[in-house]
Structure 1
Amino acid sequence: MSATGYLNDYALNDYAAWTWTPGASLDGLKLARLPLPVPGPDEVLVANTAIALNPVDWKMIDWGRDDWQQGQVPGVDGVGLVVAAGSAVNLRVGTRVAYHQALPRGGSFAEYTLLRAHAVYPVPDALDDATAASLPCPGLTAWQALDKLPACGNRDVLVTGAGGAVGYLLAQLAAQRGLRVWVTAAPKHREHLLQLGIAGVFDYRDAQWSARLREALGPRRLHGVFDTVSDSHAASLAPLLGYNGHLVCIQDRQENAPLPAFSTAVSLHEVALNSIHAHGDARDWQELRHAAASLMQGVTDGRLQPPAKQFFAFAELPEALRRLKSGEGGGKWISLLPAPMVVA
């Protein structure tokens, strides 16, 4: 082996993974045995102990990608133990890591995942696997979205969909930055969000919610809108922004300016976490790893509340994706796998 490290029966030549079938949506997911890979010089092999589901997972399975072939393993988020590392990797075998995988690579819906070493983040000892797995995609997306705004405090911002994982984490991060945060969410989330320091919670099903927000703002206007719904929904919120405001699209992007030229001069932003895998340089990755460490430490210290969790068995992964797609339940869907014995 060119990689260093092994697990108790690395002689085991294959592993279980859920694989994709083109054009078959979630019904095409098949549990298969795949050959266990050996890491390249800059790669690590991770034995997954927790797998988290995200909306992007079922969307990619439904839609497919030009760079996916029959047998692609989906899944972007996971936590596990490094069981083998390439010759250029400065990471100890046995290290517990979280990760967000690039969409074209073999994903987390498997017992093992092969990753670029720069794309894994050591997990604090005090943080459990399930919670750590719930953070990479929504947490790093929220961090990137908030980073679109210039540093400022005591300004008003809106986060839509704060009942979802991205909006929930983003609202907390924005409040911690000193922003006055307003959110939309279902009524069942209202009291909890207010306890986290959110200024006001509006029921997105109320046709008058934006008018109620304007009333609450008084003479002020929003400095930022973070939208998790769609490009058209984000565009409809642009009139709420004040001069030099920021419209941040977390779902979709604005192909056309939503407001007339030379009016409030708003800035348009798109958020695409997966793009860092193809376009990020060393500094971008350094900043992302710092953000991941900050998120996990914030949860460990109690400064950041993680999303609620629902658990499912690995063998029931397609059904869990169906339930996530339908909007059933709430919080993050997590599957726990047994940890391997690792030998340095």
Structure 2
Amino acid sequence: MFEYHLPESQQVWSWQGPGQLELHSKALVAPQAGEVIVANQVIGLNPVDWKMIERGHPDWRPGHIPGVDGMGIVVARGAGVSLPLGSRVAYHQWLKCDGSFAPFTRLAVGALLQVPEGVASEQAAALPCPGLTAWQAQAKVPDAGQRDVLIIGAGGAVGLFLVQLAVARGWRVWVTAAPRHHGPLSAMGVSGSFDYRDSQWSVALQAALGERSLYALFDTVSGEHARNLAPLLGYNGHLVCIQDRLEQAPLPAFGTALSCHEVALGSMHDHASAADWVQIRQAGRQLLEQLRDGNLTTPALHLDDYANLPRALAAVKAGQGGKWLIKVDHAPLTVHSDQEPV
């Protein structure tokens, strides 16, 4: 039997208006039917976090708790939830709901990824947003044997996960990234890396391809950036926008007949069906198992204290590299003798 006594309120990092993040006390609401409370152990920081804090969100009001990613222990559950208390879980939270920048987060049970034994808490917290985004991106492209694909921005968290998934699919993977990433990317099986700051990198890529053409291009910069790269794709190629989207076809009709794909992980909370959620959770479980087995690696992890969350978020905004995480300290969890300590 698992016991945990929830506090009535908690000290949270709350949004008070565009660009304003402050530490405040906020009441902790009990879980409703189909919901759980997770005691966060590690919070994962992502670019979407600082962007939303700066821009705001239509559904946010002063006092909203930002943060989409976290990992922790299920300490309370609402009606209809069978997931055992004490379960280790990771999650990607709906932007409309209070998020992970808090000791406790209330979540829909269907959004949880159960963390396998052997996966470190830091690894699990680093996965949801970039890992599931990378999985969605590569899943947009059908299997077509050993083909050439290009990943723009492979030095970032999404790009790094995407490289590993693409290599595992048997694709010949080409990337753009800062030179400091080229060695590690080559060790992952990348066929060639190009410095995005070199104005002739696309010429060098085409020379390396020879008579072959690109089957897919994954862009992590912007819709306009992706549009400008569309001519690099061959006939029936796939242009996947991970950051932003294309509102209009980038090339004239009846040309290379490329397909354009939008990746929007957060939209799953609004539009995913029950079957979609099953697939998402299965994908998350597989990614976590790959981390456990050493077949998938995270970016370099940087761990900071809860009190320093704004400073760590500023490092994410500044593009200092790696994956920034926040550790959350809790009072020891109470576990009876019929359950292993959590």
TM-score by length of 2: 0.96
Cα distance in 2 for residues equivalent to 1:6 and 1:54: 32
Match of 2:75 in 1: 83
Cα distance in 1 for residues equivalent to 2:109 and 2:54: 29
Match of 2:328 in 1: 337
Which of the numbers 67, 92, 108 marks the counterpart of 1:116?
108
SS at match of 1:295: helix
Cα distance in 2 for residues equivalent to 1:335 and 1:217: 42
Match of 1:311 in 2: 303
Cα distance in 1 for residues equivalent to 2:121 and 2:246: 36
Contact (CA 8 Å) 1:152, 1:179: kept in 2 or not? no
Shift of 1:5: 6.4
Cα distance in 2 for residues equivalent to 1:168 and 1:342: 38
Amino acid at match of 1:124: P
Aligned alpha-carbon RMSD (Å): 1.2
Which of the numbers 15, 19, 43 marks the counterpart of 2:10?
15
Match of 1:212 in 2: 204
Which of the numbers 133, 141, 153 marks the counterpart of 1:141?
133
Which of the numbers 192, 195, 200 marks the counterpart of 2:184?
192
Cα distance in 1 for residues equivalent to 2:108 and 2:133: 19
Shift of 1:238: 0.4
Cα distance in 1 for residues equivalent to 2:137 and 2:295: 19
Shift of 1:41: 1.1
Amino acid at match of 1:76: V
Shift of 1:338: 2.3
Deviations along 1:161-205, one digit per CA (max 9) or x if unpaired, are 110000000011011011111011100011110011011110001
1:164 partnered with 2:133 = no
1:240 partnered with 2:240 = no
Deviations along 1:9-61, one digit per CA (max 9) or x if unpaired, are 32x211111000123x0xx1111111122111100000000001000000000
Match of 2:264 in 1: 272
Contact (CA 8 Å) 2:214, 2:234: kept in 1 or not? yes
Contact (CA 8 Å) 1:94, 1:342: kept in 2 or not? no
Cα distance in 2 for residues equivalent to 1:253 and 1:73: 27
Cα distance in 2 for residues equivalent to 1:206 and 1:263: 28
Match of 1:58 in 2: 50
SS at match of 1:145: helix
Which of the numbers 246, 251, 268 marks the counterpart of 1:259?
251
Shift of 1:83: 0.2
Match of 1:154 in 2: 146
The count of corresponding residues between Structure 1 and Structure 2 is: 335
Contact (CA 8 Å) 2:37, 2:76: kept in 1 or not? yes
Shift of 1:152: 2.4
Contact (CA 8 Å) 1:98, 1:136: kept in 2 or not? yes
SS at match of 2:17: coil
Cα distance in 1 for residues equivalent to 2:75 and 2:262: 36
Match of 2:340 in 1: none
Cα distance in 1 for residues equivalent to 2:81 and 2:334: 17
Contact (CA 8 Å) 2:3, 2:333: kept in 1 or not? no
Match of 2:170 in 1: 178
Q: Percent identity?
A: 53
Contact (CA 8 Å) 1:16, 1:33: kept in 2 or not? yes
Match of 2:293 in 1: 301
1:31 partnered with 2:23 = yes
Cα distance in 1 for residues equivalent to 2:2 and 2:36: 10
Contact (CA 8 Å) 2:93, 2:107: kept in 1 or not? yes
Contact (CA 8 Å) 1:156, 1:221: kept in 2 or not? yes
Cα distance in 2 for residues equivalent to 1:179 and 1:16: 47
Shift of 1:125: 1.3
SS at match of 1:142: helix
Contact (CA 8 Å) 2:70, 2:125: kept in 1 or not? yes
Amino acid at match of 2:171: L
Amino acid at match of 1:200: G
SS at match of 1:57: helix
Cα distance in 1 for residues equivalent to 2:64 and 2:98: 6
Amino acid at match of 1:264: T
Q: Displaced runs of 4+ in structure 1, greater than 4 A? A: none
Match of 2:223 in 1: 231
Amino acid at match of 1:19: S
Match of 2:317 in 1: 325
